[in-house]
Structure formats: structure tokens, C-alpha cells
Amino acid sequence: MIDIYSNQPTNLCIRFILGESEEDLLKLKTGDEGGVLTLSMGPLGALCKNRLRRVGGKACKVAGEFSAKRVRLDLTALRGTDPEGVLALLSGVMLANNRACSYKRDQKESPQAAFFLEGIEDAVAAALPKEAVLCESVLFARELVNAPANYLTPESMAVRIAQEANKYGVECQTLDKSQLEALGMGALLAVGESATHEPKLIVLRYKGGPLPEAPLALVGKGVTCDTGGYCLKSRASLRAMFGDMAGAAAVAGTVFALARNQVSVNVVAVIPAVENRISPDSFLPGDIISSMSGRSIAVENTDAEGRLLLADGITYAIQKENAGSIVDIATLTGAVVTMFGFTTAGAMSNHDGFYSRLNDAAEKSGEQYWRLPTFPEFRKMIDSPIADLCNMSSDGCGTITAGMFIREFAEEKPWIHLDIAGTSWVDAPKWEYQVKGATGAGVTTLYELCCSMGKEAL
């Protein structure tokens, strides 16, 4: 909770100060008055949004270390600087002020602190509610990703998302297994149809822009548990796979932020939600499956399931929701973690103009994406001698070939692919505004991208 200071009693004051040199950044000192700490933002010339977001995260964690429940943040030193920077600092506070849900018998009282702002300018105060909505949407995405697989199934995820959609007046529809069969979504069904928790397709429609405008489709991978299927994962990799629906969480969080902030844009979120389990009827390596697009797919590996769901999700977005452009987002490959670690997500695109919008959006959000190539040689790696495509290459390039597979289904529409397998979760936070667990990756960048699409068509 963040509010403007109006003489309420507080038990700690953190005063943000400018430093002399780079080394001062994030340095904490006891202030001249009792109950006041000073936190250095580094030199004025080096202030930037990313740095200020980190400073905000640090302030929140300091408050936690002092067990302060009511904290005054003195931002006077930032008067006259860019309001965007101050908002970034405050978003850092809000994002760090979050703990994963506890399942303990004896629940302690909420550890969250309340913050009161001092010295902020009117422009910041006016823009704060929208920034808070965006942060809450990141926290919503984190909540979904943190939930274990026995709590969050395709069905309960659909219920949770519908509940939130209801609150904000977003149209939400959940298609069940028989409807997916009628649509011919053979790729999605191949992965999920034999699990006890049946597959769902969750669709969120936000119409904030001029009506005839074709919506931007956000397609998010919603695998609530990825065992790998018959290509069973190792014990160690299985452990994290309740979070294999971070793409779904990102697109849902984005749409709720857009709706609550009344952004002028038309967006449809499409979430194929399944469990990738082993059961007597599960699909097998070597199977040839169908897809909604009509293409046949040779299954080389049942653990490469995300691209199968996304393929049908994208075809659905084009055929049934009239998507004009498409972004898919997914915890798709272990290879992207090998490549970029936990700070940077992989990206691909078939459209330079669209991709430069994503770059600008990421510049604003502070998230890091890096574009990978789509050379024709990579496309050959997913050819199959007997089907239209195969779902895995045996020649390496795991992240790229996964993206190339998905690109086939975008039918030449402007398309961006985001692989957040490395960035959706941190055991050890990489920046001060992260906490252990889900990061809510994608929400802020997708939100900025949607804002940009609403302002000007491609």
C-alpha cells in the first residue's frame, strides 16, 4: 500500500539522497534525526528508471529488515526530475512488497508494510494510481505462477482468471474439452486430453479501442504441470514445472492492467491450459497429430509440448478472434536459460517494425529481451519426412527451432515470440524489486506494447 503522507504516525523514515559517485548507489546510512535512514541513489547524472526501480526495491527490503510496518519515504531530492523516474522508484517499492502465499497452519500477520510519500510533485501523485494498477497486475501474475500444481489446475486457473475478469468488466470465456474437439484443436488436445484435469481454452477480450480494429492477440502458454509426459523429466527439473504457465499469467495480468487503466486498444488474450501428464492414453513420441490449422505434426518429444498448445492457440486467435498481430509468450525452452540465464528472455519476430515496438516497450519496463535470428536453415530443422512439421530438432538450437515452429502458425501476420523460461522465476532475486519465486515476467512489457499499439497502428 502506498499513500501520500499526511501526518500519520510512522515508525521509520527513508530519505532518498543523491550520491557523489557510482559507489554510493544503494548505500544506506543512519540519518541525522532519529528514526531516519538515508538511501543513496547515486549521482544525479546517472539517475535512470532501472536504477530508481532498484532503489525502490531496496527501500522496501530495508523496511522489512527493520520490521517497520508504517514507513515514510522522503522523495524531496527527486523534485524537478523526470516523474517517470519517481514512478519507477515507487514501482520498485510495490513489487518488492510482496511475499508468496503461505500454506502454514499458523499464519503470521501480514508482513506487508504501508508506505507514505513525502515531497512528491503533483504529476507523480496524479500518475501513481495507474502505476499501482500495473504493479498489482504483476503481483497477480506472480500469484498464479507461485501456486502449486495441485492448487492451480487448468480448471481452477480458468475460474481464478474469470473471477478477476468479472471484477474489471473484461469479457471472459472458457472453452471445455468438447468445444476444443469441435474446433479441431488436435495439437492442444494431444497434450492435455488424457489428464484427469481436462484441458481448457481461456479467452479474455478487452475492447478499449475503436471497434473495427483487429485485436492484438496475446497467446500465453498455460501448462499447469509439465511432467514431460512419456519423455519424463528428471526429478530436479520436474520440481519447478508448476510454473510452466507463466506465459498465461503474463497475458492475463496484462489484460487486467489495460482494462483497469482504460487503455485505448483492442486486445484478446488466448490461454491454452493443460496438464502434460502420463496416463494410459497419453501421446507418445512418434505419434502424428493434427492441428487446428490443418497441418500435421510428428511428435519427436512429448516434453516439447508448449509449442503444440501455442500453435493451436495462435490459429484460434487468427480464425476465431480475427487477430491482426500476435505475441506469444511462454516458458518454452531450457535452452534459453543456458543462453541468457535468469535476467534476459529470448525473443523472435517476423516483422521489424513490430519488434522495434517491443524494444521500445522493454526500454520503458526495464525488462530485458534479446532477439534471435530466423535464418532459413533453422526452418529446415523442423521438417519431417512424413508430416508437415516435427516438434523438435535433433541438431541443437532449441530456443530458435521452437520459435520457428510457432512462427509457421502465425500465417505471416506480424508476430513476436517471447521465451521467458529463464526470467519467470528467481530463487535468488537478480534485482532488488524481485522477491524469491515468481517474477511476473512479461506483464509490464506487454502492457507498454499494447499501449503503443493503441496509440498508433503498425
Q: Which residues participate in catalysis according to the annotation? A: 233, 307
Site map (CB under 6 A) of ligand BES, residues 409-428, x = contact: ------------x-------
Contact 53, 98 (CB under 8 A): no
- CB-based burial label for 81 (10 Å; 0-12, 13-18, 19+): middle
Q: Which of 131, 244, 328, 408 binds ligand BES (CB under 6 A)?
A: 244
Min CB(222)–Zn ion separation in Å: 10
Please tell me the distance from the alpha carbon of residue 60 to that of residue 96, in angstroms, as a whole number: 6
Q: Is 244 in the site for Zn ion (CB under 5 A)?
A: yes
Only one of the segments 159-167, 182-190, 259-267, 302-310 lies at the binding site for ligand BES (rule: CB under 6 A); that segment is 302-310
Rule CB under 5 A: say whether 303 interacts with Zn ion.
yes
The Cα 128–Cα 130 span in angstroms is: 6
Cβ-based nearer residue to Zn ion, 305 or 312: 305
Of 53-112, binders to ligand BES (CB under 6 A) are none
- Would you count residue 143 as binding ligand BES (CB under 6 A)? no
Widest CA span of the chain, in angstroms? Answer: 76
CA distance 367 to 355: 15
3-state class (DSSP) for residue 159: helix
Work out whether strand 70-74 and strand 114-118 pair parallel, antiparallel, or are unpaired: parallel
**Residue 328 binds ligand BES, judged by CB under 6 A:** no
Question: What would the x/- binding string for ligand BES be over residues 344 to 383, using CB under 6 A?
Answer: ----------------------------------------
Residue 374, CB-side half-sphere exposure with 13 Å CA sphere: 18
Site for ligand BES in 391-410 (CB under 6 A): 392, 398
311 and 293 in contact (C-beta within 8 Å)?
A: yes
CA–CA distance, 130 with 253 (Å, rounded to integer): 14
306 binds Zn ion (CB under 5 A): yes
Which one of 149-157, 325-333, 355-363, 437-445 is the stretch in contact with ligand BES (CB under 6 A)? Answer: 325-333
Q: Least Å distance between CB 419 and ligand BES?
A: 9
**Choice between 60 and 225, CB closer to ligand BES:** 225
Least distance between ligand BES and beta carbon 199 (Å): 15
Report what 329 binds from Zn ion, ligand BES, none; CB cut-off 5-8 Å by kind: none
Q: Does 41 bind ligand BES (CB under 6 A)?
A: no
Q: How far is the CB of 57 from ligand BES (least distance, A)?
A: 24
Place of cell 529481451: 369
When CB distances are held under 5 to 8 angstroms depending on the partner's kind, the choice from Zn ion, ligand BES, none that residue 348 binds is: none
Residue pair 270/329 in contact by the 8 Å Cβ criterion: no
Comparing CB distances to ligand BES, the nearer of 10 and 224 is: 224
229 belongs to the binding site for ligand BES (CB under 6 A): no
CA–CA separation, 204 vs 5, rounded Å? 38
Q: How far is the CB of 340 from ligand BES (least distance, A)?
A: 12
* Interface with Zn ion, residue 226, by CB under 5 A: yes
**In angstroms, rounded to a whole number, what is the distance separating the alpha carbons of residues 326 and 117?**
40
- Residues 237, 232: Cα–Cα separation, whole Å: 10
The nearest distance, CB 245 to Zn ion, in angstroms, is: 9
C-alpha cell, 402? 521452437
Interface stretch with Zn ion, choices 84-92, 282-290, 305-313, 379-387 (CB under 5 A): 305-313
Considering the rule CB under 6 A, would residue 301 count as an interface residue with ligand BES?
A: yes
Binding partner of 429, given Zn ion, ligand BES, none, CB within 5-8 angstroms per partner class: none
The answer to whether residues 427 and 236 touch, using CB atoms and an 8 Å cutoff, is no
Is residue 313 at the binding interface for Zn ion, with CB under 5 A as the rule? no
Piece of 94-102, 124-132, 296-304, 317-325 that binds ligand BES (CB under 6 A)? 296-304
- Which of ligand BES, Zn ion, none binds 334 (CB below 5-8 Å, type-dependent)? ligand BES
Write the DSSP symbol of residue 66.
Answer: T
Contact yes or no for 407/115 (Cβ under 8 A): no
**Exposure of 203 by Cβ count < 10 A (0-12 exposed, 13-18 middle, 19+ buried)?**
buried
275 binds ligand BES (CB under 6 A): no
Total binding residues toward Zn ion, as defined by CB under 5 A: 6
CA nearest to 145, candidates 442, 438, 434: 438
Per partner kind, with CB cut-offs from 5 to 8 A, the member of ligand BES, Zn ion, none near residue 432 is: none
How far are the Cα atoms of 37, 56, 190, 273, 314 from residue 155, in angstroms, in the given order?
A: 48, 37, 17, 8, 21
Distance between CA atoms of 335 and 223, rounded to whole angstroms? 18
C-alpha cell at 162: 474469470
Binding of ligand BES by 313 (CB under 6 A): no
Q: Which of the choices ligand BES, Zn ion, none does residue 335 contact, using the CB cut-off of 5 to 8 A by kind?
A: ligand BES
Instruction: List strand residue ranges (DSSP E) for 239-330, in order.
Output: 266-276, 288-289, 297-298, 325-330
Which residues in this chain contact ligand BES in the complex, by CB under 6 A?
Answer: 226, 240, 244, 301, 303-306, 331-335, 337, 392, 398, 421
